[in-house]
Structures are given as structure tokens and as C-alpha cells.
Amino acid sequence: MENSITEAIGCDLGDKMSEICVLRTDGTMQWATVRTTRAGMRLFFTRARAHVVMEVGGHSRWASALLRDLGHRVTVANARRVQLISQSNNKTDQNDAELLARLGRADIGLLSPVVHRKPETQADLAVAKARDVLVATRTRLVNYVRGTMKSFGDRIPKCRAETFVRHTRDLVPELLKPALEPLTPGGLLMKAANAQVAFERTTTARSRGRSPRRRGTSRPSSEKEWRSAAATAGWTALVTRRRTGHRERR
């Protein structure tokens, strides 16, 4: 099957448009710009089987899955570990696409290939992130209401975030009602609280029958990942990323 591949294609995925560099066996190149949509990618990549190389990013998950379904061999590069890409002094979309194509033809090991999570695992992670957004939004609204009231000489008594709307309803002075009422009873704050309650009910229903796991983390998606010490450490948030001269916590 590998013998049927005659082209290496570098794909620099952009938010709206993507730069494509097709590297043929004779060394000649073809350039193209395609829309970063399923329709645009499918239209261009409905062609003979090729080795497609792209950088990991917001579009790489669905784009790589789509190209594999079209029969291509796909490598997703970890650009942060490829200094030729991340530290290039002549970094443009076209140059990145060409470099990806040439590295894909030379040795995919140079690309530090990334394997995306399974869709089910990614969906679990999205649930945790969505909850974080809801909680952060509610916290910002609560703090704004408290701070505004304080600047006018009024204070809201301590209470749980879940009961903040009930405690605030009768304490907002007439002068501040135009500013704060949209954020309190029946407004954004109430909607944020209600959204979180509904959200937590949904996630509770989804998690029935599943083994408990830490909130805010995603599960390793295969037995191979569990066997990997690095993956297991990442699951428990203990992995340390090392760089020359200093250490960062991830």
C-alpha cells in the first residue's frame, strides 16, 4: 500500500484558508489554497493516495480524520518540537507547507507525530471545559455585582454562589438597578446559575455506569496509553516538562 504513494503534501491549516504544497517524486511542487472546511478539503484531496502532513492545531483533528477517510496517509506534526518550523526565521504559510511536505518525505520521526484522542474522550474533555467556562462566568458576574455595590457604600452578605441571586434580589438600590438588574434576578447571573444546574444534571446522566474520574481531566483512550508512564503521569497532572536551564509545570 505504501508503494502507491507518490506525493508528499504539506498542509498548513489556517482558520479560514489553508496553504497546500504538493511535492512530487521528481522534486517539482504544486501550490494551492483551499478553504478550511470539510467541503473545501474534500474537493482538493479527492485525488490519488498521498502522504499528507499537517501541524497539530484546532482544525487538525477533524481534518486528519477526513483525509484518512479519503484514503490518504496522514501525519500530524507537533510543531512545538520541530524547531525547523517553530523557530524558523522565514515563517510564512507557504514555507511551512513546503517544509511539512519535505519533512514528511524525509522522515516522519522528525515531525514528532501526534495521535489525537478518540472522539468520545475528547467529548468528555469538552464537558469538563464547558463546566469551567460556566463557573468562571458566574464568578465574574458575582464579583462585579459585589464590587459595584461596595463602591456605592453597600455590601452584600457572604453567601454561596448558588444562593447569590436570592440574597441580592432586594439589596440593589434604585440607582444601580439599571446596571445590575440585568445581571441578577432573571438576568445573566440567574441564567448562568440555571445553565450550570442543567449542565450538571446532563453530565450526571452521561456519567452513569462509568468509572469515576477526576474533574477537568480526560481519560487515557487506550490500554497502551495506560501502560505508558508519561500518559499515566499526565492523567494525574504530575508530568514535568523539561527544558534546558529551567523546568516548567504542565
CA distance 140 to 38: 37
pLDDT at 198: 65
Q: What is the pLDDT along the chain (250 residues), one digit of tens a residue?
A: 455 788 999 999 999 999 999 999 888 999 999 999 999 999 999 999 999 999 999 899 999 999 999 999 999 998 777 777 767 777 788 888 998 999 888 888 888 888 888 888 888 888 888 888 888 888 888 888 889 888 888 888 888 877 787 777 788 888 888 887 776 655 555 566 566 666 666 666 655 555 444 444 445 555 555 455 444 444 444 444 544 444 444 4
pLDDT at 4: 77
